[in-house]
Structure 1
């Protein structure tokens, strides 16, 4: 496999599977269905309603090639993503252990997303924020390994109390935490993390959260604590992000090595 020349090169490696969502026996009102539409608006993931005899109501299924890969209830999606706004994460109103990723969203790994931030969209970017918090939760629960996260501006860590508390907690329990961004805030004396600063593209236009557990690419393959996990997103237009997430140990490890060696 050729050595990647940039973070963008990893987008060429993902399989971009053809997956869709099906809402089974929907009984929820149209505004609830609209929330799901707004989360995935413009993405390569279609959503449709289907009635099936003797099935439960308001179940969302992830489909690929006619096979059901995962199922979540619409209530699970509402509680974890659809009725949440990003300020709850920034303020610390949602504890890290409360962050959940429904199976149907976890199953959208390696699907390329293009999302807009506020004010263009209230929901699209939220999905990547939830993925970020899920990866941070995995790191926190594992208690060791390496977490690498970029913030564009390091002052975000200072200004977002919830984010600051998450990284303070993860750093103190023994995870090797590295944070990346433009140097606009001095955090070296307060956070137990390694700080990397710069002004090149990866520092001010990338958004990554990458966790690798100890033990190499074979660790955490049972799906429990210690999972490999990575989110990579790039802002090639103002407030518009191309992103994907993955739980493949080999790919996550390669992303981690690229960042360690080149960012």
Structure 2
């Protein structure tokens, strides 16, 4: 079995990205398509509001229910949030045209949907992660842009963005366990940045934990010394006491790095991209703060596995799931 065949055993949900109230349509759409793929992005030209515009109002008792104004409950937070429940149709634009709108207050108050963003009056663009008709997560374009859209890989390669600065907006966090297909340069300038961002997040979890095991592949081991930021990251991780294992083709072995080197030239070494952190006691669910991605990764483990299925096309997933993490770590430990 190869890592590509191993990856095929993991099924994941199909998810898409919806953009609401685009104030600068073409550049925003182009960046999102170039990041997530044109099959995963659709656009709603509406606006963001902080109150429903169709007579409904948010239950201010704080239990997250949406009522019809007469006290009748329309939806409950425990059954998920659908696009129909989040959207209103009563907003009127400057030309007295009725346009779709998203009630961001409903999104904020629904516990089952992670959301990062600011004051509704200041939100110009909202990005929603959807699974069928259900809203999985939401982020403002500012949050998503600071993490992925408005940055380039040089921030990570040069070390300009440190480990402590790496975090995941809700829309990216919500992609866990969803199988993705990404294109590399020159087909896309941005899609591999998702892999880089998630990789750095996992490395941050290992570095913060200061123990456990981290297994990372580089295709070519020379990349560790060629990229200043990458070399610095792994020096910092190894110095904390994390059992660090590095995998790749031995074109040039990294010098003076406290890590175990695994070299090879078969497809598992040449075509894989994985970063898998396993805590000392093995993968398990986080208990202290299950709503924090970083705590989930530190306490329970987190991993990314992608395979280059054809030149510059990557298929993979990333996960906090204990069973998948155990299987990933076991395969790598036994076969590479």
Taking structure 2 as the reference length, the TM-score comes to 0.72
Assess, with a 3 A threshold, how the Cα gap between structure 1 residues 238 and 22 changes in structure 2: closer, same or farther: closer
Quick one: distance in 2 between partners of 1:78 and 1:110? 22
Q: Kindly provide the CA deviation profile for residues 75-132 of structure 1, in whole angstroms up to 9, marking residues without a partner as x.
A: 0111110011112211111111111211111111222222222122101111111111
Quick one: distance in 1 between partners of 2:281 and 2:266? 31
Counterpart selection for 1:106 from 166, 173, 181: 173
Counterpart selection for 1:125 from 192, 202, 213: 192
Q: Which moved more, 1:26-35 or 1:126-135?
A: 26-35
Once the two structures are TM-superposed, the CA of residue 207 in structure 1 deviates from its matched residue by 1.0
Match of 1:83 in 2: 150
Once the two structures are TM-superposed, the CA of residue 147 in structure 1 deviates from its matched residue by 0.5
Match of 1:256 in 2: 329
- Asked if the contact 2:182–2:191 (Cα under 8 Å) also holds between the matched residues in 1, the reply is yes
Assess, with a 3 A threshold, how the Cα gap between structure 1 residues 254 and 29 changes in structure 2: closer, same or farther: same
- Asked if the contact 2:245–2:259 (Cα under 8 Å) also holds between the matched residues in 1, the reply is yes
Quick one: distance in 1 between partners of 2:188 and 2:128? 25
Match of 2:35 in 1: 39
Q: Secondary structure at the match of 1:32?
A: helix
Q: Secondary structure at the match of 1:85?
A: coil
Assess, with a 3 A threshold, how the Cα gap between structure 1 residues 227 and 23 changes in structure 2: closer, same or farther: farther
Larger-gyration structure (1/2): 2
Counterpart selection for 2:43 from 36, 42, 48: 48
Q: Which moved more, 1:66-75 or 1:148-157?
A: 66-75
- Asked if the contact 2:33–2:41 (Cα under 8 Å) also holds between the matched residues in 1, the reply is no
Quick one: distance in 2 between partners of 1:175 and 1:34? 40
- Structure 1 unaligned spans of 5+: none
Counterpart selection for 2:249 from 182, 196, 215: 182
Assess, with a 3 A threshold, how the Cα gap between structure 1 residues 69 and 95 changes in structure 2: closer, same or farther: same
Quick one: distance in 2 between partners of 1:170 and 1:73? 32
- Asked if the contact 1:138–1:227 (Cα under 8 Å) also holds between the matched residues in 2, the reply is no
Q: Which moved more, 1:17-26 or 1:85-94?
A: 17-26
Once the two structures are TM-superposed, the CA of residue 250 in structure 1 deviates from its matched residue by 1.4
